[in-house]
Amino acid sequence: MLHLTGNAMLGVLLAGCGSSDTRGTTATSASQAGETTSGTTGARGVVFNTASQDVTLFDPASNEVTGSRPTDAVVRWLSNEQNYWDGESIWTYDFPDNEVRAIAIDPQTFEVTKQVPVDGAGPGHSFVLTPDSARGFVNSAGSDFLAVVDPTAGEMVERVEMGAFP
């Protein structure tokens, strides 16, 4: 679950990151027929859905669903303890067609804004940023290595061989 407030992410997953401004946060929900509904709220929680490749937005005070947004990625979440926030994007991983890639997601639109292929086979199991957000790490279990990613440049900068299925 992510907790979003205003123009920045805070709380459950991003404690201490960003602003606490709650003005104008709007959630949009898409129905099965493609219709959308909108609502305004101060804070919102976020749940990534792997099967539907979207996020469910909800009011954390009432636990009422307020909308959903497509992500066009299968986002798997392992731990809120990992550093995934670079001050601008949510960093995680995906492995469509069994090809591991690091991805950056915009916390307001939930669109994938950056994709960094690591030229390795899935599955991937995790993505984590260094405390200064200068580097990120994602494993390529099917290719037995750890990829070191430069999030700013959007490229893999090193490949660390790890042995069987890291």
Question: Per residue in 64-101, pLDDT tens?
Answer: 999 999 999 999 876 778 899 999 999 999 999 999 99
> What's the average model confidence in pLDDT over 19-38?
38
Residue 145, CB-side half-sphere exposure with 13 Å CA sphere: 16
Residue 31, pLDDT above cutoff 50: no
AA letter at 125: H
Q: What is the pLDDT of residue 6?
A: 39
Cβ-contact 108, 7 below 8 angstroms: yes
| Rounded Cα–Cα distance for residues 66 and 38 (Å) | 8
Highest mean pLDDT among 11-15, 44-48, 160-164: 160-164
> What's the average model confidence in pLDDT over 108-114?
96
Residue 8, pLDDT above cutoff 50: no
Report the DSSP pairing between strands 155-161 and 145-150. Answer: antiparallel
> What's the average model confidence in pLDDT over 131-141?
97
Q: pTM (2 decimals)?
A: 0.74
> What's the average model confidence in pLDDT over 5-33?
36
Take residue 49 and report the two structure tokens written for it.
Answer: 């859905």
Strand partners, 127: 138
Residue percentage of the chain with pLDDT more than 70 = 75
**pLDDT bracket for residue 18 (50, 70, 90):** very low
Cβ-contact 31, 12 below 8 angstroms: no
Q: What are the C-alpha distances in Å from 38 to residues 22, 25, 31, 41, 124?
A: 16, 10, 12, 10, 35
Q: What is the pLDDT of residue 146?
A: 98
Q: What is the pLDDT of residue 28?
A: 43
Question: Looking at per-residue confidence, does 22 or 92 come out higher?
Answer: 92
Q: What is the pLDDT of residue 45?
A: 92
Identify how many contiguous H helices and E strands the chain contains and give both numbers: 0, 14
* pLDDT per position as a tens digit, 32-50: 333 334 454 478 899 999 9
